Amino acid sequence: MSDVFKIGGASLNSRFFLGTALYPSPKVLADAIEAAETDVITVGLKRQLPAGANPLTQSTTEGVDNPFFQFLKESGKQLLPNTAGCKTAQEAITLAYMAREIFETNWIKLEVIGDDYTLQPDPINLIAAAEQLVKDGFEVFPYCTDDLVTCRRLLDVGCKVLMPWGAPIGSGQGLTNPHALRIL
């Protein structure tokens, strides 16, 4: 049996996706990427811009020379940019286009947040953004809850991968609804 995992047109040796947020230094991040033996690293475009900068008001070519972005592009890993921090479908779509241009990938982890406290996704805006991005040629990896109906709608609009939460982010609860996740 092969251990190769096929997703979004890529063959991966690891199912582990490593985030790039909140590392104390680029060296620690580089060491983590190497130790994790991951094939995919995620990056939040909004979080990596200078403090106070709004990526939606900048040219998409700004930030391309950002040393952090260059480090990620040169890592040899499949990049999965995300739309963390977006609250509307249009904001997420705009950020996805910027990420595609900067990172030269059609992959996008789609996040449209409906509640700032729990970081629960907004299913209505999430589905709307997913539908448009799939039409525009993106491989959309939507961050969603374990709601079966929402997940079906995401699949119906063309998402091939779902990224449901196991529990609210940062809650430390582990899997709160394993039954729902098994159904998915």
In sequence order, what DSSP letters do the residues of 139-150 get, joined into one string?
EEEEEE-S-HHH
Mean of pLDDT values over 100-105: 93
pLDDT at 64: 53
Q: Which two tokens stand for residue 34?
A: 């190497």
**SS3 state at 59:** coil
Beta-carbon-side half-sphere exposure of residue 32 (alpha carbons within 13 Å): 18
**pLDDT per residue as tens digits for the range 40-85:** 999 998 765 554 554 444 444 444 567 888 888 889 999 999 999 9
**pLDDT per residue as tens digits for the range 159-183:** 999 999 998 888 889 999 999 999 9
Give 110's pLDDT tier (boundaries 50, 70, 90).
Answer: very high
**CA distance linking residue 110 with residue 162, whole number of Å:** 10
Give the pTM: 0.86
Q: Which residue of the set 6, 27, 109, 160 is catalytic?
A: 109
pLDDT at 2: 66
pLDDT at 1: 47
Q: Where are the alpha helices (DSSP H) in 20-120?
A: 26-36, 45-48, 67-73, 89-103
Query: What are the extents of the domains in the chain?
Result: 5-183
**pLDDT per residue as tens digits for the range 115-136:** 999 999 999 999 999 999 999 9
In sequence order, what DSSP letters do the residues of 81-100 get, joined into one string?
EE-TT--SHHHHHHHHHHHH
pLDDT at 73: 85
**Residue 108 φ then ψ, to 5°:** -150, 130
> Residue 5: is its pLDDT beyond 60?
yes
**CA distance linking residue 107 with residue 79, whole number of Å:** 8
What CATH number has the domain spanning 5-183? Answer: 3.20.20.70
pLDDT at 48: 56
Q: Is 109 a catalytic residue?
A: yes
